[in-house]
Amino acid sequence: MVSAKTNANFLDSFTHSTVVSKDGTTIGYQSIGMGPSLIVIHGALSTSNDFTKFAQELSDSFTVHVMDRRGRGLSGPQGIDYSIRKECEDVLSVQEATGATYVFGHSYGGLVTLEAARTNIFKKMAVYEPGVSIKSIPTDWDWLTEYENDMSKNDFRGAFASFVKGAAHSPLKKLPKWYAKLILRSVIRGNHWIEIEKLLPENLIEHKEVKRLASTFSNYQIIDANVLLIAGGKSPDSVHQMIRVLDETIPKTQTLNLPKLDHLSPDNKYAPVEVAQHVKRYFLS
């Protein structure tokens, strides 16, 4: 069952809709545009509202459906038995409701996109720096324990600093944690911080899934869709190594390096229009 209502808060007209996933969780998404349906799947510390500019740029050629992954926005909670399988079921529910044959995923949403493509049928896919951990690429997971310990002490700023230093592809990685925490407090404040703080518990659980899936990327050999693998030139070499491994693993791929961009570029606050232009060109080719 799908319900919809007009959202008048954006410059362009979005509609809000919901579907019910396999386990009964409500999954919301907002839509804009005309043409073939395209699902957009956001990353960990974000919601569909962070991808409205990206969606608007695509809306002259596609009907764009920006999901709220479970645990945020228009959607229900992650649930006590959360796993990537639940995310794939959510994508399938939105795909069945919209008839989408195209999909774009960013960061953890890119991981969800690749996992979903193992069973869902898509014509074309694009992922921007998907949150895939490759076992052969050295990864220090100590930050995940730090993150969990900080959360247990309600030190949310500390938890965020642990995440940014450990997994967020940031230059702050090389700084002492106390200094990184101070810098992050000074630059991320107000509503931006409030939105991040709300999603820290979900982010922790999701990155435990990233760690668990580190040795399973070979499963992507069965993906039948055409896949565009995108990375920002300013991202660390580990990201580019991961893209190279995925390019060797997935049968039908193209790669795209955007020299001036970084991991967060598809988000509204960074360079969504530039990323969307490349994605549009690929889907229309």
Residue type, 59: S
Name the one residue in this structure whose structure tokens are 């898509």: 122
What tokens does 73 get? 């926005």
Residues 76, 122: one domain?
yes
For 111-163, the pLDDT digits (tens) are 999 999 999 889 999 999 999 998 767 678 999 999 999 999 999 999 999 99
For residue 6, what pLDDT band results from cuts at 50, 70 and 90? Answer: very low
37: domain CATH number? Answer: 3.40.50.1820
Instruction: Tell me the C-alpha to C-alpha distance, in Å, between residue 126 and each of 30, 53, 229, 242.
Output: 19, 17, 6, 15
Which residues lie across from 7 on neighbouring strands?
14
Q: What is the pTM of this model?
A: 0.94
* Claim to verify: residue 230 and residue 205 sit in the same structural domain: no
Asked if 130 and 160 sit in the same domain, the reply is: no
Q: Across-strand partners of 229?
A: 127, 255
**Same domain assignment for residues 187 and 93:** no
Structure tokens at 8: 């008048």
* Residue 170: domain span: 142-211
Do residue 129 and residue 162 come from a single domain? Answer: no
Tokens of 194: 């409030």
Residues 43 and 148 in one domain: no
Burial class, 83, CB count within 10 angstroms (exposed 0-12 / middle 13-18 / buried 19+): middle
Confidence check: pLDDT of 8 > 50: no
